[in-house]
Amino acid sequence: MPVSDDLHARNFVTKIANYPKIVNVPNSSSILHDLLPVAVALAEHRETGVYNFTNPGAMSHNEVMELYREFIDPSKKWENFTVEEQAKVIVAGRSNCALDSGKLMGKVKEYVGEGWQLDVPEIHEAYRRCFMRMKENMQQNPGAQINGEA
């Protein structure tokens, strides 16, 4: 689930913030601010293979929405429904999973030892930082709408 520092329509946060009901399940997420520099380092090192390209850990949708309410919209409300209830109203199935990012984090540690400036925090801290940047971005661009369109 890609997460950017804005509320672009393709951002996972924007998507769930616009749903009246969400499933409260833990998932891995990819905070792009943290992981894009890692992609550059992997490419520079000509790494190949399969990497779970996510921040370490998993975070529930309700936890994400609590941060959304804290940083973006204090009036935000939502309801939960079950995975089974969700399946009845969506066109394409969804997967919910917590991925092991250990292999990726091993490379991050290796590259930091080489002098690369990489920081891939655990997902709870990563989301908190992301929402702080998101709030700052919105304050600098007050004309931006919540759905990511100007």
Per-residue pLDDT reduced to its tens digit, 17-54? 998 899 999 999 999 999 999 999 999 999 999 999 99
Q: Which CATH architecture has domain 2-140?
A: 3-Layer(aba) Sandwich (3.40)
Instruction: Report the C-alpha gap between 121 and 142 in whole angstroms.
Output: 28
Instruction: Report the C-alpha gap between 54 and 123 in whole angstroms.
Output: 8
Higher pLDDT among residues 146 and 7, named by residue: 7
Instruction: Report the C-alpha gap between 61 and 17 in whole angstroms.
Output: 10
Record the pTM: 0.87
Higher pLDDT among residues 144 and 42, named by residue: 42
